Amino acid sequence: DAKTTQPNSMESNEEEPVHLPCNHSTISGTDYIHWYRQLPSQGPEYVIHGLTSNVNNRMASLAIAEDRKSSTLILHRATLRDAAVYYCILVGSGGSNYKLTFGKGTLLTVNP
């Protein structure tokens, strides 16, 4: 499985934008970039995913580098409820199974 590299932790202030980086230099052409987050004492939650183009949804935006070797999850206005571990995961599209392998993720702290 292709690996991703994320900072161990990041800190943000409430109501400010947050840019969470992810490096994936060995990504293959058919790998999707997925982001999940896990709030304390909860299961992981799907945030967003993309292949080549930037993506937006109600939770966040995903900016993908032109060479696809890195991506950035953007939270436009952080709230205290966004404090979580954020995981960047590559998901292959080959076969009928989509195996989600978690790395260590980035622990985001949001200051009031």
Partner 1 sequence: DTEVTQTPKHLVMGMTNKKSLKCEQHMGHRAMYWYKQKAKKPPELMFVYSYEKLSINESVPSRFSPECPNSSLLNLHLHALQPEDSALYLCASSRLGQGFGGYTFGSGTRLTVV
Residues near partner 1 (CB under 8 A): 34, 36, 42-46, 49, 85, 87, 93, 96-105
Find the shortest distance in angstroms from Cβ 13 to partner 1. Answer: 25
Q: Please, what is the minimum distance in Å from the beta carbon of residue 36 to partner 1?
A: 7
Cα–Cα distance, 105 to 50 (Å, whole number) = 18
| Least distance from partner 1 to the Cβ atom of residue 66, Å | 24
Asked if 89 and 103 touch (Cβ cutoff 8 Å), the reply is: yes
Specify the residue, 36 or 82, whose C-beta has the smaller distance to partner 1: 36
